[in-house]
């Protein structure tokens, strides 16, 4: 069984697709709900207003934006930048042009790992016209 300590609260937990424990996940969800409700009731609020009204720290609000749960356009004064080219973005970590470029690079890398034709794979294996036998000892 794989057991870890939560990086936030140091509780022991069994990871199930998350890097933090279920208690911290629940706390994050409660914070998200507070921010979401505030933004629904106060559209166009600034980042500082959201932080003051919800008592959710700036890093957590920015994390919600990076995860795509909140868009930066919903908050005045909140700006995210592409991690690759530093262009302004409304959510996530990469701008659309860098996402496309990264996808092309990954496809190119994946293509170089695959054999170019089905026949190429056979040439790397044993020749089909020869018979291989184990050395037999009497």
pLDDT of residue 22: 93
Q: How many helical (H) and strand (E) elements, i.e. helices and strands, does the chain have? A: 5, 4
Q: Tell me the pLDDT tens digit for each residue of 44-58.
A: 888 899 999 999 999
pLDDT of residue 118: 57
Instruction: Tell me whether residue 61 is in a domain.
Output: yes
Q: Provide the residue range defining the domain that includes 95.
A: 80-109
Number of domains comprising the chain: 2
Q: Which residues of the chain have pLDDT under 50?
A: none
Instruction: Tell me whether residue 119 is in a domain.
Output: no
Same domain (yes/no): 8, 55: yes
Same domain (yes/no): 87, 56: no
pLDDT of residue 43: 87
Same domain (yes/no): 69, 84: no
pLDDT of residue 7: 94
Q: Which residues of 10-48 are buried (b: 16+ CB within 10 A; e: fewer)?
A: eeebeeeeeebbeebeeebeebbeebeebbeeeeebebe
Same domain (yes/no): 102, 43: no
Same domain (yes/no): 49, 94: no
């Amino acid at each position: 069984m794989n057991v870890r300590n939560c990086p936030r609260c140091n509780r022991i937990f069994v990871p199930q697709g998350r890097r933090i424990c279920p208690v911290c996940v629940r706390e994050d969800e409660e914070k998200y709900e507070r921010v979401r409700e505030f933004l629904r009731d106060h559209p166009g609020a600034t980042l500082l207003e959201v932080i003051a009204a919800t008592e959710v720290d700036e890093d957590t609000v920015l994390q919600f934006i990076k995860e795509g749960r909140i868009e930066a356009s919903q908050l005045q004064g909140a700006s995210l930048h592409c991690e690759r080219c530093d262009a302004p973005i409304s959510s996530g970590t990469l701008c659309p042009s860098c996402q496309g470029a990264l996808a092309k690079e990954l496809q190119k890398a994946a293509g170089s790992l695959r054999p170019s034709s089905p026949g190429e794979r056979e040439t790397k294996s044993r020749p089909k016209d020869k018979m291989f036998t184990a050395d037999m000892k009497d």
